[in-house]
Each structure stands twice: as C-alpha cells, then as structure tokens.
Structure 1
Amino acid sequence: MTGQEDRGDPTTPEAQFDEVVNIGAELYEKAETFVGSLFQTQNLYQIGIAIGLAVLAHLLRALLGPRIRAWMGSRENWPKWRMRILVVIHQRLRAIFFVALIWATVFVMREVTWNSRSYMLSIIATLALAWLVIVFLTRMIKSKFIRKVVRYGAWTYVTLQILGLLEEAEGLLDSAGFEIGDIRFSLLLLVQALVVLGATITLARFFTTTTAARIRTNEDISPSMRVLIIKGVQIAFYGIAFYTGVRALGIDLTGLAVLSGAIGVGLGFGLQKVVSNLVSGVIILLDKSIKPGDVISLGDTFGWINSLGARYVSVVTRDGREYLIPNEDLITGQVVNWSHSNDFVRLDIHFGTAYHDNPHDVRRIAIEAAQSVDRVLKTRPTVCHIVGFGDSSVDYILRFWIQDPTGGLTNIRGNVFLALWDAFSAHGISIPFPQREVTVMEGKPLQAATSEADPEAPAKQADP
C-alpha cells in the first residue's frame, strides 16, 4: 500500500519520473506520426515541390545577387542604417526568394485544387516565413551569444507551435526541475528566462540608443545635462526591462526585499569608494562644474575632458595620454577649469631687454608681435608692462588672450616667443643675458700664487 500511495503522490520522484516517461512517449508518438505522414504520396510530391523551389531560389540568388550588390554599391549618399538593412537583406536573398516562391505556389494550389494537396507546403511555407522573420528581428541584438540564444529559442518555440508539439515539449521541460518555496525552477523556466530577458534587454538597448542619439544632437541641453539624462534613461529602460522580464516569468520579487536590503548594507560598507565616486559623478552632472570638452588642470594633469563616466572622468592630454580621474577627486580637490563659464583664457609671457633700448618702443613692438599670431584675440586688449629693473635687463610681462584652450597652451606661448624674437631682431632690440667681468689687479699675492702653482710662470709673465 505504501508503494501505491507514493506512486499516487505527484511530488515523489517516482511520480515525476512516470510523468516524464508519459510525456516523452506522447511526444515520440506525435513525432513518429508526423514523420510517417511525410512518406505518403500526397505529401511526397509536396516535399519534392519544396525542394524544387529551394533550387530555384538558389539559382535566382546566383543570378540577381551580384546585380543587387552592384546597385547597393551605387547608393553612396544613403544613411548607414539603411545600408545595413540592405546588407542583411542581401545576405538572406536565398531565403527571401524561397519564401516568396513557396507562398506563391501555396496560393495558386489553393485556388486550383483542394487544400489537402497543399497542406505540407503550407507548413513548410509557414516555418520558412517564421524563421526568416526571426532572423531579421534578432539582427537587432548586438551580442552574438544573446542573439544566438534568442534566435534558436524562438525557432524552437515557433517550430513546435506550428507542428502542434508545444504542449508536450513544455511539459517535458517543466518536468525536469525542482521547487524552492513557491517558486519552481525547471528547464522550461530557464529557456523562457533566456528568451524573454534577451528580448526585453534588446528592446531596452534599442530605445536607449535611439533616445541617447536624439539627446546628443539637442543643442538646447548643456553637455553635462545630456550625459545625466542619458544615464538616467539607460537606468530606467534597463530597470524596466529586467523587472518586466522577471515578472513575465512569474517570479515574485517581494520575497527578495529583505535579502536585497542586507546585500545593500554590506555593499555600503565594502564599496564606500565606489559609491562615493558614483554620488560625486551625479553631483558633477547636476552642478555643471565640468562638462565634456572643458580644459582642466588637476595637479600635474592638464588636458580636456573626453567623457564623463559613472565612476571616473576621462581626461586626454596633449601627448595623447588618457587619465581616468575618480569623480571624488574632482569634488574634493582643487580643479582649474579653463573653460567653465567661457572659453577665454589669458596667458602671460615674461621677457627682458637691454637697458639702452627705449621701453616705450619695446612695449609697442611686443604688443604688435603678439597680435600678429593667429590664435591671439584681437577683440581683447593685449598689454605689456614693465615689472622691474633686473641685474642685466629691464623686465616686462606680456599678457594676451585666446579662445581655444583645447588647441594647447605651450604651442601658443612658443609662437608668441618666436614673434617677439623676429620683431626684436627687425628693430634692433637686444635680449641681454647675464655677463661677468673679471678684473686682474697688480700685486705680489697674485704673483706668489702663480709661482707656487707654476714655477715657470714669472719667467713667462710680461711686464704690465
């Protein structure tokens, strides 16, 4: 009696094994019946027609494929997204021709003969059309792994649905699983999760990319706000996709609230720096202190901001190096933003001239030389002042303005120095350098020192 009672309990391993055997037997019987029907006379000639149409589609592909390819090559002004669609269509020309031919044949045979004479062709045509549609839809998925999982999962589902084997296949997959509380994990749930989550994440990625492209082209929004809006849109779409996919699988997320809270507390202690950088990144985007394209100086690092990330800011220097600076350093440290409120930057150059040069002429010539350089602004005044009387020269400071700090500061200083050199050379203005004069005094100490160093020195010394 105990063994019979165990057999009657659906939760026992024996009952589950019997269920799997029964489902497998039903699935095998249906598959055997379907395969047997293929060898019937009225179905064999339909399969032969389908094979002939496949050969015809291959010939059409060989004949028209190169011509279509040449026509695609002449579309030079078309946008990239349209050319990508054409490339995908060109790669699937054989399948497109086959679907068009077989559906045309099915429609004709339905008009001239009984539906049973085209039943097998209808199944083949439906399968071919479904496979072709799935191929085009899954091309939107950039990840090759997710694309293959979604594609083969969708193909399997559609094929079983068309052949009428879906219920038995679902029962067979669902029977191989286990339960944890109120949630049952099985192969069916795993397949559904891969397909549903792959599809929802792909849709989220598509909408996020489209929205981000429109936001980047909106000139009415500041660059920092564009980055903030794009990050918010990405989080929102991917969060909705994940939540929708999990709910579609029938998984209740309320039971994970306590676990997620405990994990959040642990992450808060273990990832303080990471969280600090994330919060600092949001603050940077909100207060608009820096934005992509700004020229900044942080310590010994000077360059322009390439991108704003969730954890770091990418700064590219003039020598091609890319520094990944944590967001927290930009919040707590002293940052020089050369283009925060505007792009105007004033640069100073120090130089000196000889005392015999007229300082009024020197100031005028220096201002004219600086304004002759291309990047120096003519709309803002260039000035030159005397800042001191040095040991060897009269010291000056030359101040001028530029509006493109992203073009570099060292190179513009070098160009102004060259302009000063040429202008001073043309007007006879000299740039002095420190000089020392040594006067030799007459006296015996020098002679004694010389004689001790070189005994023959007095003999060689000439009369003063």
Structure 2
Amino acid sequence: MEGLPGKLSGWLQQGADVAMGWLASPAAWSQFALLALAYVAARVLAGRMSPVILRVLTPKEGMAGMLATARRFALLFLPLLLPLVAYGLTAAGEGVTRAAFGSGEVIAFGKRVFLFLAARALVGEVLTDGFLKLLGRYVLIPVAALYALGVLDEITVRLDAMVVELGNIRFSVLALIRGVIAGALLFWLGAWSNRQSAGYIKAQPALRPATRELAVKAAEIAIFGAAFLMLMSIMGIDLTAVAVLGGALGVGIGLGLQQIAANFVSGIILLIEGQTTVGDYVELDGGERGTIVRMTARACVLETFDGRWIVVPNEHFITTRVVNYSDQGSANRYEALFSVSYETDINLVPEIIERAVAALPFVLSAPDGPDCELKGFGESAVDFAVEYWVAGIDDGKNKYGSPVLFAVWNALKAAGIEMPYPHRVVEIRGGTVG
C-alpha cells in the first residue's frame, strides 16, 4: 500500500503525456472529428429509430402473456439506444482509421467512453431495483470508468497477483472481489427466481397444498444450492474443500443437531403424506390446538381462536397422537348433554329435542340428523344427550354448542318439562331444637 500514491502519480503523469501527444498530433485531431461525427450520426439514428422501436414493442392495451411481458421488458432498455449506437459507429470508424492511418488510440478511447455512458444510462434510467442500482453505482460504473481510461487491465493483473491464504485454500484478491460481486448477483437472482417459482407453484390448483409446499421448498433448496456451487466455481475454490465441510457438518448434525434434523425430516414426511396441511384444525396430545397457518422446514404454526400463534416442532406431528378435525368443509359430530326431572314422561323427550335441534340452520340432516339418546339415571335427574352434525368445527370462532343448548332449554320450557337441580335432605338426630 506504500507505493499506491506513487502509482497514482505515475498513472496521472502517463495520462497527461498521452493527452498532450494527442493535442499535438494531426491524426488525433482527425479521430476527434470522427468521434464528433459518430456522435451526431448516433443522435440522428437514435432519434429516428426510437419511435419505430416504441411503436413495435409497445403491446396493445390489455394484452397479457409472456410475449407482452418480454416486449415491455425490452422497452426498459430504450435509454441505452443512443450510447450503444454511438459505440457501434465508433467501433466501425476505428477499423477504418487503423486501416487508413495505422493508429486509432483516440477513437478507441472514445469508443470506451460511449460504453461508459451506456453503463451510466443503465444504472440511472433502466435499473429500478434498489440492490441492482447500488451494485451498478459502486461496481459497474467504476469498472466502466477504469476501462474507459485504459487502466482496467493493469489493475486486474495486480489484483490477481495478490494472494490470500486461508488454511489449505488459496485465492487471489481479484478472485475474492469477483466472488463477492458474483455472490451478491447470484443470491439476488436466486431470491428473485425463488419468488417467481414459489408464485407459479402456489398458483397451480391441481396440486394439493402439501405438495405445493414441498415443491416450493425443493425449488428453494435447488436454486440456492446451484447458486452456492456456481459461486465456489467462480471463486476458484476446490469443491473437495466443500466436501470436507459437508462431512464436518454431518458430524455436527449427528452430535448436536439431532432435533433440528429430526424436525426437518418430519417436515418433509408431513408434506409428502399430506395428512396434515395448512388450513387443518388439529389437536395434539400436549393440549395444543388450533388451525395450521404455516408449515416450515422446522415447525408448524397453529393459530388459536383468540389469535395466538403456537409453534409446534414437526417431530410432534410424527411421534405423538394428533387429532385432525380437517376444517376443509367436512362434517363433524358433536354432543350436548342435558337432564330432565324424574316426573317427566321421558318417552316424549327425544322427539321434542330432535325437532328443536333440527330447526337450527347450521345443523345438518346428512350424514345423520339430530339424535337424542337416554344416557342414564342420575341421583336427581334423568340424563340425556343430543348428537348433531355440523359443516365445520366448534373451534371458538364457530360456536355451535351454545345455540344447541339454548334450543334444548327453550324446547323443554315450551313443553312444560322441568330441568331439575340437586336436592338434599338433612336429618337431625340426637336432640331437640330450642
């Protein structure tokens, strides 16, 4: 680093000497004239071509599909037309100049400047993503500027000669910089591809929800795995080192990450089997109950009727008993208990209760209508239960039990049937009360 100011001074002096040489050379002045002519011609051509391109590529209003999307995407690059046309004309002029005069340094410099202007237009007018604009502003434009000045090759050689060692891995500073830039681009592209693939997979109605989740996770692993391997190749890292790292990771999983591995494998089993999926209302042996709102590689998220989220490891769905009420429009049976007095003609009770419960709008007649059954004879009342079917579950949000009990109460009151309460007889012995 001590020689950096000297190198910069040398480059500046070299640039000044080249500029002075161009100013004193008639051939250089002719090349400057060709550059100006190329720029004017490029402006004229771009001005004539832009309306035609705009008319051809602009899709009709309301037009959709891949072709329309591709045409709209191509229109984004219209600001690059002028510098790229100027670059093409200058490249053609460079060949003519070198053939006629044996030199073309000035026009070659102008060609690189037009490429630099194209890079600026790309970053300033085309790119809209914040990350890509940041990468273009601090990577693409500086690299294009160094290329325009003609010092990019020399800087590249010097960076390639500087070697960094990390254990058995050796790579140059140039490879490190290239890896950081390529890694940023690859993982941004991977994230974008993952979002697109996830949106496409989730939009397929023919796939079960569990299959869609499994396909999304498989696509995510494949995309980022490919990005990682490509990054290793770009940085020049021997993949045998990655194999060693994978072996060490496997030992770590075997020693300390058993639960994480078990939950991950359990999550894959859940997604493949599809017996439990997003939208199901489940109850576990541990008492957790709620609607599954999310399934991840490690756990399932249950939402209770009061809005709380419970995170349950996937392993619990495999190793313990799970009651799946499957709130997907399926019918479920419930039971409401009640009692009547011993003075009641109990033969009349089933018909009265079944008729009252069947009148409720949410009670189904299939697979079976309300069924009132005698349960037993208690200490002070005769015990009954009415069974009924509903399309859904009684999870706190949908409350079926309370309206049924109200219907039972009202029906019994309307029929003059008493619902008793416990009576106790107290006998006092051994004296008189005075």
Correspondence 1:280 to 2:285: no
Correspondence 1:215 to 2:201: yes
Structure 1 match to 2:363: 376
Q: Which amino acid aligns with 1:349?
A: A
**What is the aligned counterpart of 1:226 among 212, 222, 228?**
212
- Distance of 1:321 and 1:440 partners within structure 2: 55
Contact 2:394-2:400 within 8 A present in 1 as well:
no
TM-aligned CA distance change 1:163 to 1:373, over 3 Å: farther
Contact 2:210-2:278 within 8 A present in 1 as well:
yes
Instruction: Show CA shifts across 1:304-333 (max 9, x none).
Output: 111111111111111111011111122111
Secondary structure of 1:405's counterpart equals coil
- Distance of 2:20 and 2:425 partners within structure 1: 116
Correspondence 1:393 to 2:381: yes
Contact 1:197-1:246 within 8 A present in 2 as well:
no
Q: Which amino acid aligns with 2:384?
A: Y
Structure 2 match to 1:294: 280
Secondary structure of 1:318's counterpart equals coil
| Corresponding pairs, count | 389
Structure 2 match to 1:6: none
Secondary structure of 2:432's counterpart equals helix
Q: Which amino acid aligns with 1:315?
A: L
Structure 2 match to 1:433: 421
- Distance of 2:244 and 2:202 partners within structure 1: 39
Secondary structure of 1:219's counterpart equals coil
Structure 2 match to 1:131: 120
**What is the aligned counterpart of 2:349 among 348, 362, 372?**
362
TM-aligned CA distance change 1:232 to 1:261, over 3 Å: same
Contact 1:23-1:171 within 8 A present in 2 as well:
no
- Distance of 1:160 and 1:409 partners within structure 2: 66
Structure 2 match to 1:203: 189
- Distance of 1:34 and 1:420 partners within structure 2: 102
Structure 2 match to 1:262: 248
Q: Which amino acid aligns with 1:404?
A: G
Secondary structure of 1:296's counterpart equals strand
TM-aligned CA distance change 1:135 to 1:101, over 3 Å: closer
Secondary structure of 2:431's counterpart equals helix
TM-aligned CA distance change 1:286 to 1:108, over 3 Å: closer
Correspondence 1:411 to 2:399: yes
Contact 1:314-1:324 within 8 A present in 2 as well:
yes
Displacement of 1:221 in angstroms is 1.5
- Distance of 2:23 and 2:330 partners within structure 1: 80
Contact 2:163-2:172 within 8 A present in 1 as well:
yes
Alignment of 1:173-212 (within 5 A): 173-179=159-165, 184-212=170-198
Instruction: Show CA shifts across 1:187-231 (max 9, x none).
Output: 322221121111111222222211111211222221112111111
Displacement of 1:278 in angstroms is 1.2
- Distance of 2:17 and 2:361 partners within structure 1: 86
- Distance of 1:400 and 1:202 partners within structure 2: 55
- Distance of 2:295 and 2:241 partners within structure 1: 36
Instruction: Show CA shifts across 1:342-363 (max 9, x none).
Output: 8322111111122333434422
TM-aligned CA distance change 1:124 to 1:372, over 3 Å: farther
Secondary structure of 1:445's counterpart equals coil
Displacement of 1:140 in angstroms is 4.8
Q: Which amino acid aligns with 1:130?
A: A
- Distance of 2:283 and 2:381 partners within structure 1: 33
TM-score (norm 1): 0.69
Structure 1 match to 2:293: 306
Unpaired segments ≥5 residues, structure 1: 1-15, 54-74, 451-464
Correspondence 1:159 to 2:148: no
TM-aligned CA distance change 1:106 to 1:200, over 3 Å: closer
Correspondence 1:324 to 2:311: yes
Correspondence 1:249 to 2:235: yes
TM-aligned CA distance change 1:400 to 1:161, over 3 Å: farther
Instruction: Show CA shifts across 1:149-173 (max 9, x none).
Output: 4652233233333443321221343
Contact 2:112-2:147 within 8 A present in 1 as well:
no
- Distance of 1:26 and 1:396 partners within structure 2: 102
Structure 1 match to 2:54: none
TM-aligned CA distance change 1:211 to 1:428, over 3 Å: same
Structure 2 match to 1:343: 330
Contact 1:140-1:202 within 8 A present in 2 as well:
no
TM-aligned CA distance change 1:134 to 1:423, over 3 Å: farther
TM-aligned CA distance change 1:181 to 1:102, over 3 Å: closer
TM-aligned CA distance change 1:103 to 1:308, over 3 Å: closer
Pick the structure with greater CA Rg. Answer: 1
Instruction: Show CA shifts across 1:283-315 (max 9, x none).
Output: 222222311111100122110111111111111
Secondary structure of 1:350's counterpart equals strand
- Distance of 1:313 and 1:123 partners within structure 2: 56
- Distance of 1:431 and 1:330 partners within structure 2: 43
Q: Which amino acid aligns with 1:204?
A: G
- Distance of 1:100 and 1:205 partners within structure 2: 30
- Distance of 1:405 and 1:33 partners within structure 2: 86
Instruction: Show CA shifts across 1:52-92 (max 9, x none).
Output: x9xxxxxxxxxxxxxxxxxxxxx99999xx99xx9xx9xx9
Alignment of 1:102-113 (within 5 A): none
Identical amino acids, percent of aligned pairs: 27
TM-aligned CA distance change 1:346 to 1:151, over 3 Å: farther
Contact 2:280-2:328 within 8 A present in 1 as well:
no
Q: Which amino acid aligns with 1:210?
A: Q
Displacement of 1:257 in angstroms is 2.4
TM-aligned CA distance change 1:159 to 1:246, over 3 Å: farther
